[in-house]
A and B are shown apart, each in its own frame.
Chain A
Amino acid sequence: MPEIFNMLIASFIPLLFILIYAVVILWVEIKVASHVQDRLGYMYTGGFHGIAQPIADLLKLLTKEHITPANSDKIFFTLAPVLVFASSYAAYAALPFTSTFIAANLNVGIFYIIAITSFVVIGILMAGWSSNNKYSLLGAMRSVAQIVSYEIPTVLSILTVVVAVGTLNLQEICEIQKGGISSWNIFKYPPFMLITFLIYFTASLAEVNRTPFDIPEAESELVAGYHTEYTGMKFAMFYLAEYANMFLVSGIAAILFFGGWSSPFGKFLSSPGWGVFWFVSKGLFFVFLQIMLRWTLPRLRVDQLMYVSWKVLTPISFVNLMMVGLWAILK
């Protein structure tokens, strides 16, 4: 009995985290955008700099009418946002938030995350197809092509790290990097790990449909892509999933290359409580980077996007993998 209880708590914590984080990041995104663009953004709701605006937005989304297009495939249409959110939520199970908390300490943690996040593709395709809207369909097709192509450089760069550390367990990957800033993976095998990180970060931008790879939901071309027809809470699910994915890829970047929950100062400030702080702040830093990129760059075209993946990132990551592998053997 207490075991089930523990499991429930363990699964509830990531959900709680996602919800709180989404509210915060909604506000941050708007604020960063406004300041990049020389304006103030939200200023009224909640007193200080519109701090309560995301809550108001969420309440508004909750009270919106659910509209299901007449000719849509109703089952898939309803299921799609759930599937998209569920798969990114499920991936959080294998994220080590600190040295003492991980919802499911799997031996193949990183492998599990790669596998479970692939479900997002199915969800998006379902959403695009069942909406019975040409823009949604085009958006879904673009999205699937994009995510499937970028899966390869992502996985290859993750594999490079796995070769370097010798384990698939995310908790162990963090343990290995415990000795402060100098033992972080990014500084190993110079400069190959740095290149690996850059490839991973670029590819992960495409995985979560962020600028400059946000073509599946390019509002100037496809209105809103695969979620054109969605309203209310179903739309909010997509939104939530997008932000959850943003933190997920950022968190993995932090774990694989920047020590995860380990303190940059070695033993100093390295209790489990501080571990949460280090992990979340590292993750949020990369989320912030993604937001900054979004408000700086235009977006690529579909074929250019494929070009970047197949002709640039994939070959480089192969070479990288070989070099690191060779180096690891020779050592």
Chain B
Amino acid sequence: MATFEITTRSVRGDLKTDTMILNMGPQHPSTHGVLRLELVVDGEIIVDVIPHIGYLHRCFEKHAEQMTNYQQVIPYVDRMDYVAAMGNELAYVLAVEKLMGLEVPERVQYIRVIMAELQRIASHLLAVGTYGLDLGAFTPFLWCFREREKILDLFEITCGARLLYNYIWVGGLSHDLPSEFGKKLKDFLKTFPKALKEINDLLTFNKIFIDRTANIGVLPPDVAINYGCSGPMLRGSGVKFDLRKNEPYLVYDRFEFDVPVGEGKMGTVGDCWDRYYVRVREMEESLKIIEQAWEQLPPGDVHSAIPKKVRPPQGEVYFRTENPRGEIGFYIISDGHSASPFRVKARAPSFVNLSVLPEISRGYMIADLVAILGSVDIVLGEVDR
């Protein structure tokens, strides 16, 4: 067990105060899972944060090597970022398909886009709701869950599962869309903007909420890039970078949508409020994409391109997609003869985003740390894999 001897004495004027070590987690309501933060605090001011992760380590990479074929990895991928499982499947499957040089039918690509964007909305709803919860607002959380439930219902009628889908397969999908999907999707598209406005009125533009989040945890763009931050973390700092635009995969280049970035509307560019608001606006953009994709959805067979055997040639690929939490990448090495991957490395966005936490939380208060951690929006299943 590594121990940390901290002998820092912070001096303010003539008053000498000892620092105290406060263990936040692994069981703590606002660490969003089993994260342990070792806080060195001076009263309520944070001197340093040392994150300890690994409490949820499930050996995903070892598992992937031990599977008997490439498809069997997909359910494990689901369990990484368990609130955005579709996005994980998509990234893994696209990586394998790229390694094999597989072309998939247009209908499959469109359905994948719709699913990934629905998942993005669901995931951001969770992020927004729990962020409110971190700051003491209980009601937006349940309102967000009410909306998220509708998306999960859509997933359920499509593939039977609500959280961990195993829906996107190498070369295709497990099921085509059911006949009632269109009607339910349209209902959702119609009611969701209203719900989003309610949440904005209640939480986003609430004076207390703005006071708690603006100018807190400011992440400058160069630091964000240097630390490898991605997704809303990076865009919140004002960097207009979205893999759906910058490195389009699937059919994302056919849709019109904006990439919202932090503008420092309520404080400094890159503060917690910016990161939060980027998520809110991304939900609106995702709605646009879903609408367009649904209109353009071509007919076809979703099973036609599924290969009998997945045996990629000897080689390696790093493929990345835009997950709700940022850039998820899979580095896959195939040895060319066995049916299971030789090595799978998952570059999890939360893992990388979390590493910037000590940098942006020094000098703030314990209450701010909760706000900052919430705005990073981590999923521990993905941090620890």
Contact check, B44 vs A218: say whether CB atoms are below 8 A apart: no
Closest chain B residue, CB of each to CB of A36: B139
Segment touching A, from B102-110, B128-136, B257-265, B336-344: B128-136
Contact with B along A205-230 (1 / 0, CB 8 A): 00000011011001111110000000
Q: Contact check, A298 vs B137: say whether CB atoms are below 8 A apart.
A: yes
In the complex, whether B368 has a CB less than 8 A from a CB of chain A is yes
For this complex, into which size category does the number of interface residues on chain A fall? 20 to 34
Number of interface residues of B (CB under 8 A): 29
How far, in angstroms, from A37 to B132 measured CA to CA in the complex?
13
Contact B29 A297 (CB under 8 A): no
B22 within 8 A of A: yes
**B29 neighbours in A (Cβ, 8 Å):** 219-220, 223
The listed residue with most B CB atoms (<10 A of its CB), out of A37, A38, A221, A223, is A221
User: In the complex, what residues of B have CB within 8 A of residue A135's CB?
Assistant: 22
Q: Name the contact of B136 in the complex, choosing from A37, A134, A214, A303 (C-beta under 8 A).
A: A214
Q: Are A295 and B139 in contact (CB under 8 A)?
A: yes
Task: From A219, A222, A223, A296, give the contact of B139 (CB < 8 A).
Answer: A296
| B-contact bits for A300-330, CB 8 A (1 contact / 0 none) | 1111100000000000000000000000000
Is the pair A37, B30 in contact by a Cβ cutoff of 8 Å?
Answer: no
A28 contacts the other chain (CB 8 A):
no
Tell whether, in the assembled complex, residue A220 and residue B136 are in contact, meaning their CB atoms are under 8 Å apart.
yes
Among B22, B137, B368, max chain A CB count under 10 A is at B137
Once the chains bind, are B212 and A300 in contact (CB under 8 Å)? yes
- Check B137–A215 contact: CB distance below 8 A: no
**In the complex, which residues 329-385 of chain B have their Cβ closer than 8 Å to any Cβ of chain A?**
365-368, 370
The answer to whether B137 touches A301, judged by C-beta atoms less than 8 angstroms apart, is: no
Residue B156 lies at the interface, judged by CB distance under 8 Å to chain A: no
Q: How many residue pairs at the A-B interface have CB separations less than 8 Å?
A: 75
A residues within 8 A CB of B206? 297-298
The answer to whether A37 and B28 have CB atoms under 8 Å apart is no
Within the complex, which residue of A221, A297, A298, A299 is in contact with B366, where a contact is CB–CB below 8 Å? A221
A90 contacts chain B at the CB level, 8 A cutoff: no
With A220-B30, A300-B211, A300-B212 as contacts: A138 and B203 at CB distance below 8 Å: no
A39 and B370 alpha carbons, distance in the complex (Å): 27
**Nearest CB of A to B373, in Å:** 10
B251 adjacent to chain A (CB < 8 Å): no
Within 8 A of A (CB), among B203-228: 203, 206, 208-209, 211-212
Q: If the complex has contacts A297-B206, A304-B211, are A218 and B138 also in contact, measured as CB distance less than 8 A?
A: no
- Interfacial chain B residues near A176, Cβ < 8 Å: none
Closest to A33 in B: B138
The reply to whether A220 and B142 contact each other, CB–CB distance below 8 Å, is no
Of B44, B209, B370, the contact of A302 (CB 8 Å cutoff): B44
- Flag if A220 contacts B208 (CB, 8 Å): no
A-B contact pairs, 9 of them (CB 8 A): A138-B44, A212-B136, A214-B136, A218-B367, A220-B30, A220-B134, A298-B132, A299-B135, A303-B365
A residues at B contact (CB < 8 Å) = 33, 36-39, 134-135, 138, 211-212, 214-215, 218-223, 295-304
